Amino acid sequence: HRWMPFLSVDRTKSVWLRSRIDGGWQAYFVPQQAQAFDPPRLRQPALDPQVLKVARSFQAECSRRGARLVLTFVPSPVGHREQGEALARELGVPFVAPETLGLESYDGSHLTAESASRFTVEFLEGLRGVIADEGAR
């Protein structure tokens, strides 16, 4: 705010950063402005054929290296879990993405630290189950 104090009415609630890539300005809001959200739903997620082609190529490379592919979805106010689920089904790989209730975003895209921590705990529990299943094979 030393350089652009006019960009924020309340200097305690946001920080403006300039992209080194395209010069655009982006406001980053502090956690006190967190807002709860419910991720939007898609009825029939469409998979882009090019995305599927790249995903299959990536999966083949993982297999070549002896790795297993697991897909996830980190909730956000603008993301669509159903696309990740559809891609995992198409590839025949596990999908680990808990539907954690009461998540909050501080900027309309990213989770607050508290929400990210809660999601991570549930994600790791789900991933532990996938790893245990894999070890039982």
Q: Which two tokens stand for residue 69?
A: 């592919």
Q: For 19-98, where are the E strands, in sequence order? A: 25-29, 35-36
Across 99-131, b (16+ Cβ under 10 Å) vs e yields ebeebbbbbeeebbeebbebbeeebeebeeeee
Mean pLDDT calculated for residue range 44-71? 92
Question: Is residue 112 left, alpha or beta, with left meaning phi > 0 and alpha meaning psi from -120 to 50?
Answer: beta
Please, which pLDDT band fits residue 72 given cuts at 50, 70 and 90? very high
Side chain identity at residue 89, one-letter code: R
Residue 93, helix vs strand vs coil = coil
At 14, is the secondary structure helix, strand, or coil? strand
pTM: 0.68
Is residue 7 pLDDT above 60, yes or no? no
Residue 124 confidence (pLDDT): 96
The CA distance from 111 to 117, in Å, is 9
* pLDDT tens digits, 25-50: 766 655 556 677 776 676 777 888 99
